[in-house]
Amino acid sequence: MSEVTEAVRRLYNTYPFPPDPLLDEPPTGYNWRWHYQAAYNFCTGIKPKRERIRILDAGCGTGSGTEYLLLHNPKADIVAVDISEKALEIAQRRLEKSGILKDFQGSITFKQLPVESVGQLEGEFDFINCVGVLHHLPQPEVGLKALASKLAPGGIFHIFVYGELGRWEIRLMQQAIALLNDKKDDYKEGVRIGRKIFAALPENNRLVRREKERWAWENQRDECFADMYVHPQEIDFNINTLFDFINSSGLEFVGFSNPQVWQLERLLGKDEELMKKAQSLTEKQRYRLIELLDPEAITHYEFFLAKPPLPRYHWQEDELLEKAIPQLNPCMFGWESKSLLDYQFQPVTLDDDEFAFMKLCSLNPDKQLTVKDILGQVSLSLPQVRSLVKRQLVMLSLP
């Protein structure tokens, strides 16, 4: 284990992360990025055929995400790895305490292992989840390549790494704490010094303002403060370095899992000339333009990679009508209601026809009715069906 990796291990043994409480019941709600069917549908346009898959939770920490992986993928075989033995202990207690294992039909294995060493694991994985980990490695590309080597053909890989522009103030505070903390290996002292700096700075100080506006609520907990401000290793990305990083993996970039952030229309949509000029840019240049124009919004990048061959379904009209079998996206909150939260927890209001179509989708237990069959019972147009699919409210599958 490298010196940097050992320092990171000590941080997370001191402050196991995330510090979410252990509950006597399974977690509520959903995180669609942890739900293989919803994530695969987002990436491909079609619901996957299999539920019995292999999942790797790379850098599971205290198991908050692992618990959602079990909740959303009850037939999966899951392997969760982390370098912190303390975090792994908490992760296992979390699953035992919540009772989620009682109804879980798959298998779960925890293993203390650096991400760079996942090559030691047997077999390949259909779904890899790696959130908040790669940017803490001494060589992120090494970890990315190791994980890519374990992704099965047609598999999807969800990643979350930090963005440099939206974390500018964090980086400054990290360096300030490091200068004033004369006990470099004492993370608790780093937290104490950091809190004193924030308390001493003028209220209109830029670092103080950003902390209060964006991070203060979660940083009430020392574990979160330490993870943000006294971490011994952090590499932040911008769009240019991010895509260099992605290209080093040999995998295919599928797309950002928060696509609403990457819509240029939200920034320049009222100026037709600028939007037209932007159309001549490459996709990566448009992404770069967005982060330059709205740096505070890009605190991180969350995206999917895939190992080819990964199908893409665009559903031609005859195929959509005659073959597509519609079902509800399992990641919604508030159904059965016309007012609900979608897969991104954004509010949605359905009109009467949309609601009627979705209700029939929910009553399609044998998965035999096609789009055409259901349209024969409601007054909805094919473009409206495509809208429901595009908004991830309805998923499509083949017989």
Among all chains, which residue has been given the structure tokens 């109804």?
Answer: 103
Q: How far apart are CA 399 and CA 396, in angstroms?
A: 10
E-strand stretches of the chain: 54-58, 77-82, 107-112, 125-131, 151-162, 252-256, 300-306, 325-328, 339-341, 347-349, 394-397
Task: Say if residue 336 is preceded by a cis peptide, omega within 30 of 0.
Answer: yes
The answer to whether 295 and 149 have CB atoms below 8 angstroms apart is: no
Q: Count Cβ neighbours within 10 Å for each residue of 31-69 and write b for 16 or more, e otherwise.
A: bbbbbbbbbbbbbbbbbbeeeebbbbbbbbbbbbbbbbb
β-pair partners for 128: 56, 157
Among all chains, which residue has been given the structure tokens 């996709």?
Answer: 283
The pLDDT assigned to 365 comes to: 63
The pLDDT assigned to 81 comes to: 98
Q: Collapsing DSSP states into helix, strand and coil, what is residue 133?
A: coil
Q: Give 353-389 pLDDT, tens digit per residue.
A: 999 999 999 988 677 899 999 999 999 999 999 999 9
The sign one gets for the Cα dihedral 35, 38, 40, 42 is negative
Q: Residues of the chain whose pLDDT is less than 50?
A: none
Q: Give 322-348 pLDDT, tens digit per residue.
A: 999 999 999 999 999 999 999 999 999
Count Cα neighbours of 326 within 13 Å in the Cβ-side half-sphere.
31
| Tokens linked to 40 | 């695969």
The answer to whether 11 and 187 have CB atoms below 8 angstroms apart is: yes
**Residue 341: CB atoms within 10 Å:** 17
Whether this model's pTM surpasses 0.95: yes
The answer to whether 127 and 53 have CB atoms below 8 angstroms apart is: yes
The CA distances from residue 264 to 243, 278, 353, in Å, are 19, 9, 31
